[in-house]
Amino acid sequence: MMLLAASATSYMPVVHTPAPRTSAPRSAVAMQLGRRELMQQGAAAGAVAAVTAAAPQAASAKGKTWAPVELPIATDAPILFDIDFDPANPSNGFIVGNKGTFLLTKDGGKSWFAKSFANLDPDEDINYRFTKMSFLDNEGWIIGKPAILLHTKDSGVSWERVPLSPKLPGDPFGIVALGPGKAEMSTSAGAIYTTTNAGRNWKAEVRETIDATLNRVSSSGVQGASYFAGSVNSILRGSDGAYLAISSRGNFYLTFNPGDEYWIPHNRQTSRRITAMGFVKENFGDGLWMSTAGGELSKSATNLDAQVINIPFDKLQIKSGGYGLLDVAFVPGTSKAWAVGGGGTIFGSTDNGATWQKDKSADDLPTNLYKIKFFGNTGYILGSNGVLLRLES
C-alpha cells in the first residue's frame, strides 16, 4: 500500500525571548515575533514559579535527586509529552506538549526557549497536541493531534508540514527518524509506514490493521481480543525495529517484529489492566517491562519468542502506594532504573529493577509524571503542569 502526499508547506519556528527585536524579513523562513512571545513575559513566571522555587534545594535534599528545570511556558499548565536531542548536535534539544507547546534548548537542556511556527496561525497552533518526535543527524520529525506531521532537515532551524493522506488508518501515534529522508510512522490503528523521500510517499509495512488481525484470530486464546475498540493507547518502536502496543482497554498487548506480516496479540499475566509497557534495553530480545493498575510492576525474561501468546512476567518489589506507574527507564550500560507515575511518583532501582526505593524529588509538585528518557548520563522526566525534571550523573 502506498500513500501519496501533496506538496509540503514550509514552516519556520519562532524562538521567543523577552528582549524586543527589530522588524523581521517577510519570507516563509524568517524569524518573527508571535503572540505567544507577548504572553510569555507575563505568564512564564507564574507558570513555573511553583515548580522552580525549590530547585536549588531539590538536588541536595535527602531523598531527592531530580531537579526542576525552569521553562518559559506561555500557556496554562500544559502537559509535556516528549523530549529529544539531535545526535549530530547534542546541544540542540526540543520538548513538545499539548496546547501547542514547543520548546528549544541550545545548551544541552540547561535552559529553554518557547517556539512556534511562523506560518501556523497562533489560534490554530494552540489547539495542537504535539505528542511525539524523533531526531537523527540534523533531521527531525514531529507528530500531533489533530493529525499533523512536521519535518526539518536543519536541526530545527526551519520546518515543513508534510500532508497526510485522508485514507490513513487511525491517527499518527509514533515517528522514528531513520536517516536522510527516511522515517517510520505508526498509527493508533496499528498501521506502520516507511518513507525514503521525506514523506512524499509512504509504504505499508503491515498487511492489515490490528482490528483486521483480531477479527481473524479472535478464537486464538487471547483474552479480551473480541472487545478490541479499534485503537491502541500506546505503541513503541525498539531499536531493532520491533513494536509493542497496548490495547485501548488495557486487557491485552501486541508485538510486531521486522519481517512479520501481522501483529501478534498476547495475554496479560494478571487480572489487572495494563497501564504501560516498554522495552527493558530498547529492543525486544532484551525483555519487556509492564505496569498494571494499582502500581504493580513486572519484567519478562530475555530472549523472548514473539510467537508465544503467554509471555511470562515476574513481579518486581515496588511499593507504589497504589499510584499508577506510567513509564520506566532502564539506564543503558548500568544496573540503574527509574519509574515514574501519578502524584509525582518517582522510584529508583540500582539492581536492574529487582528492588525499588522512593525518590522524593517531585513529592511537593502538583503533577503527574508521564515520561522518562535518558540521553547519555543525563535524564529527563516530563509531566503535567509544565513540569520538567533533570538528573545529571
Q: What is the DSSP string of 100-152?
A: T-EEEESSTTSS-EEEEETTS-HHHHTT-EEEEEEEETTEEEEEEETTEEEEE
User: Where on the phi/psi map is residue 170: left (φ > 0), alpha (ψ -120 to 50), or beta?
Assistant: left
* 22-26, 187-191, 248-252, range with the lowest pLDDT: 22-26
193 has a pLDDT exceeding 60: yes
Q: 259 CB contacts (<8 Å, ≥6 apart)?
A: none
Q: In what order do the strands lie in the sheet with 264-267?
A: 232-237, 243-247, 252-256, 264-267
**To which residue does cell 525518590 refer?**
359
Helix, strand counts (H, E) of the chain: 4, 31
From the CB of residue 205, how many other CB atoms can be counted at a distance below 10 Å? Answer: 20
CB-CB contact of 254 with 247 (8 Å): yes
Banded model confidence at residue 212, pLDDT cuts 50, 70, 90: confident
Give residue-wise pLDDT tens across range 239-270. Answer: 999 999 999 999 999 999 998 999 999 999 89
Q: Which has the minimum average pLDDT: 32-46, 74-88, 230-244, 296-310?
A: 32-46
Tell me what pLDDT residue 204 has: 94
pTM of the predicted structure, to 2 decimals: 0.83
pLDDT of 76 reads 80
Residue 290: name the closest of 268, 306, 307, 305 by CA: 268
What are 136's three cell numbers?
537523527
Q: 116 or 171, which is more confident?
A: 171
**CB 69, CB 386: distance < 8 Å:** no
- Amino acid at residue number 124: E
